[in-house]
Chains A and B, each alone.
Chain A
Amino acid sequence: MERIPILRMGKYLLVTIQVDMHDRLAMQLQEDLTTRIAKENSRGVLIDISALDIVDSFIGRMLADIAGMSRVLDAQTVVVGMQPAVAITLVELGLSLHGVRTALDVERGMKLLEESIGEATFAGNVDESDGPGDES
Chain B
Amino acid sequence: MPTRLPEMIRKYEQTLLSEWIAEQKNALGRKLLKDAEMEQQCTAFLRALEKGASKGELANLDNPAWNEMKELLNNVSRSRGLQGYSPSETAIFVFSFKRPFFTKLAKELPPAQVAEEQWNATLLLDQLGLYTTEIYQKTREELINRQQQEMLELSTPVVKLWDGVLALPMIGTLDSARTQVVMETLLQRIVETGSGVAILDITGVPTVDTLVAQHLLKTIAAARLMGADCIISGIRPQIAQTIVHLGVDLGTVTTKATLADAFALALQRTGQTVTKVGLAKKKKEKEAEKERKERE
Contact = CB atoms under 8 A, between A and B. Distances in A.
A103 B223 CA distance: 10
A118 B199 CA distance: 29
Contacts of B188: 84
Contacts of B196: 104, 108
Interface string B219-239: 001111111100000000000
A88 B184 contact: yes
A91 B227 contact: no
B218 A87 contact: no
A105 B191 CA distance: 9
Specify the main secondary structure of chain B where it touches its partner.
helix
B231 to A, nearest CB: 16
Given A88-B187, A91-B218, A82 B194 contact: no
A42 interface: no
B221 A96 contact: yes
Most chain-B CB neighbours within 10 Å: which of A80, A84, A92, A105? A84
A77 interface: no
A91 B228 CA distance: 15
Interface string B172-194: 00000000000110011011001
A96 B227 contact: no
Nearest to B195: A104
A109 interface: yes
A122 to B, nearest CB: 19
Nearest to B184: A84
A105 B164 CA distance: 13
Contacts of A108: 196, 227
B222 A90 contact: yes
A104 B227 contact: yes
B205 to A, nearest CB: 20
Contact of B190 (A80, A88, A104, A109): A104
A97 interface: yes
A84 B194 contact: no
A88 B222 contact: yes
Contacts of A80: 227
Contacts of B190: 84, 104
Contacts of A92: 218
A43 to B, nearest CB: 20
Given A84-B187, A104-B194, A90 B225 contact: yes
B45 to A, nearest CB: 54
Nearest 6 pairs of A and B residues by beta carbon:
A84-B187, A103-B227, A102-B227, A87-B222, A87-B225, A104-B227
Interface of A: 79-84, 86-88, 90-92, 96-97, 102-105, 108-109
Given A79-B225, A82-B227, A92-B218, 4 more contacts: A87-B222, A88-B184, A91-B222, A102-B227
11 contacts: A79-B227, A84-B184, A84-B190, A84-B191, A87-B187, A91-B222, A91-B225, A104-B195, A104-B227, A105-B194, A108-B227
